[in-house]
Amino acid sequence: MISTSPHAFIDTAVLIDLLQNYKPAIKWQQSRGAMVFGITPTIWMDVMSNAPNIPAQQAAGDFLKQFVMVYPTEDDMNWAMRQLTAYHVDHGSTTRDCMIASVCHRLQIPLFTRNLRPFAPIIPSLLQQPY
């Protein structure tokens, strides 16, 4: 993983599409030019846990090295807990969603995701659907 500040985060579904060479995802990523993308440990673990075997897991690990890893802080964790309390029951936002959103919120940078619903009440102004 590279060590610079990301311009945006990419969520799991988009990363899996890229890893599987899904044409709309590839075209979208290429259209972003030199944009630096970040991931959180939660996103990294999601992608790795989707690998069906050791070679796929190794390929996923190699693929993920191109993204900036941004770790949640203690304040991020506290913010995420408040969001889970506020939005889990009525909106279905999960622990995972709140953890990812917390880093986006702190850095005030967008999250590119195909799954807008659980993030919409948490970070509405930072959500972007990539394709």
Helix 41-49 crosses helix 95-107 at what angle (to 10 degrees)? 140
pLDDT tens digits along 72-128:
999 999 999 999 999 988 888 899 999 999 999 999 999 999 999 899 999 999 999
Q: Which is the CATH superfamily of the domain at 8-128?
A: 5'-nuclease (3.40.50.1010)
- Give the predicted TM-score (pTM) of the model: 0.89
Extents of the domains making up the chain: 8-128
Tokens read off for 15: 């990363």
